[in-house]
């Protein structure tokens, strides 16, 4: 079973990445990362069960498993997408949930204009409430496809994108549950036998504002040669580079609860409502508040090359 998107489907909606286009197919769900669709899940199975290819050739992944970050691939340089939900003899084995194949342009089948140029701005609403932060990014692409004659064609393409995104968050670090090593509970709490008015107390909490800048650059080259009516040879190369620059402004409210009994006696009074601590008056033994300026950088690059020969019209072998 196979689902497909052709070039007209991809161009119909200006998706930021090819991952946004993939999830429009039935039976495919996306996993978002930093504002974009990133990985694909097929038939309810996770992204690590999905096999990724470009023009039928397996591509490497920088992820801990085999999952592919499809946001690396700009939709401007992809001419078709096939989602295979079942295996067949002409495919590389390995897609437990399914396989995703990205196709680049075939110049000998191309009948459109030779040149294509695009430019525009990208603006995310998510970061507009962050002070002194610009949400404006940009997107540029250009391609040249030339069908020299019925036997030879070539294509070149370049794409660049800078995307901005920012958002706040509030995270709890976990709670005292009366388990092993959490026996020193705040005043008014219960004991390990379940007696008393036990209060679930957080170990700490964190507020955070993330400011992101992601840059993606890609280059494509294709040569296609048809020496006879029954033979087609295609060489393609695709390079993509995806970089995440994430600034993290954090405030830690730490050492409130008692993880691994490391904060014994570090409590004052806890306000218990329905067996839960809703307020804690911290005393001199708690770690208090810490402001943290952190950063996260990630850079992924993929260099995919392929040489493919196809034979047509061979009804029998002699």
pLDDT range class, residue 196, cuts 50, 70, 90: very low
Let me know the angle formed at the C-alpha of 22 by 16 and 25, rounded to the nearest 5 degrees.
135
Q: Which helix (H) or strand (E) holds 21?
A: helix 18-22
Question: pTM, whole model, 2 decimals?
Answer: 0.73
When pLDDT is averaged across residues 154-159 and rounded to a whole number, the result is 94
User: Across all residues in the chain, what is the average pLDDT?
Assistant: 77
Whole-number pLDDT of residue 94: 65
Count of CB atoms within 10 A of residue 164's CB? Answer: 20
Give φ, ψ of 75 to 5 degrees. -65, -20
When pLDDT is averaged across residues 273-289 and rounded to a whole number, the result is 56
Look up residue 12 and give its two tokens.
């119909």
Higher model confidence: residue 86 or residue 267? 86
Residues whose CB is less than 8 angstroms from the CB of residue 210 and which lie 6 or more positions away in sequence, other chains included: 166, 167, 168, 169, 246, 247, 248, 249
Q: List, in order of start, the domains of the chain with CATH numbers.
A: 1-103 (2.170.130.10), 106-313 (no CATH)
Cα 69 to Cα 67: distance, rounded to the nearest angstrom: 7
Ranked by mean pLDDT, the top range of 9-13, 174-178, 214-218 is 214-218
**Which of 148-157, 186-195, 203-212, 234-243 comes out lowest in average pLDDT?**
186-195
Residues whose CB is less than 8 angstroms from the CB of residue 308 and which lie 6 or more positions away in sequence, other chains included: 55, 56, 57, 233, 234, 235, 236
């Amino acid at each position: 079973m196979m689902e497909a998107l052709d070039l007209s489907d991809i161009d119909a909606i200006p998706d930021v990445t090819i991952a946004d286009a993939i999830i429009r197919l039935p039976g495919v769900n996306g996993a978002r990362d930093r504002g974009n669709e990133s990985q694909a899940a097929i038939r309810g199975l996770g992204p690590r069960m999905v096999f990724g290819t470009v023009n039928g050739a397996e591509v490497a992944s920088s992820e801990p498993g085999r999952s592919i970050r499809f946001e690396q691939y700009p939709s401007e340089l992809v001419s078709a997408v096939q989602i295979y939900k079942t295996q067949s003899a002409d495919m590389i084995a390995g897609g437990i949930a399914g396989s995703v194949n990205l196709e680049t342009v075939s110049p000998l089948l191309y009948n459109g204009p030779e040149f294509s140029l695009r430019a525009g701005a990208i603006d995310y609403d998510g970061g507009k409430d962050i002070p002194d932060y610009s949400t404006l990014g940009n997107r540029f692409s250009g391609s040249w496809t030339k069908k020299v004659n019925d036997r030879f064609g070539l294509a070149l393409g370049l794409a660049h994108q800078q995307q901005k995104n920012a958002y706040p968050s509030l995270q709890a670090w976990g709670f005292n549950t009366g388990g092993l090593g959490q026996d020193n509970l705040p005043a008014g709490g219960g004991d390990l036998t379940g007696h008393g008015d036990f209060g679930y107390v957080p170990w700490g909490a964190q507020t955070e504002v993330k400011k992101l800048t992601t840059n993606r650059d890609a280059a494509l080259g294709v040569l296609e040669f048809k020496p006879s009516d029954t033979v087609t040879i295609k060489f393609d190369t695709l390079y993509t580079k995806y970089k995440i620059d994430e600034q993290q402004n954090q405030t830690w409210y730490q050492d409130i609860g008692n993880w691994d009994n490391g904060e014994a006696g570090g409590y004052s009074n806890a306000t218990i409502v329905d067996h839960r601590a809703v307020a804690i008056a911290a005393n001199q033994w708690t770690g208090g508040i810490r402001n943290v300026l952190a950063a996260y950088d990630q850079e992924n690059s993929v260099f995919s090359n392929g040489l493919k020969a196809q034979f047509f019209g061979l009804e029998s072998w002699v």
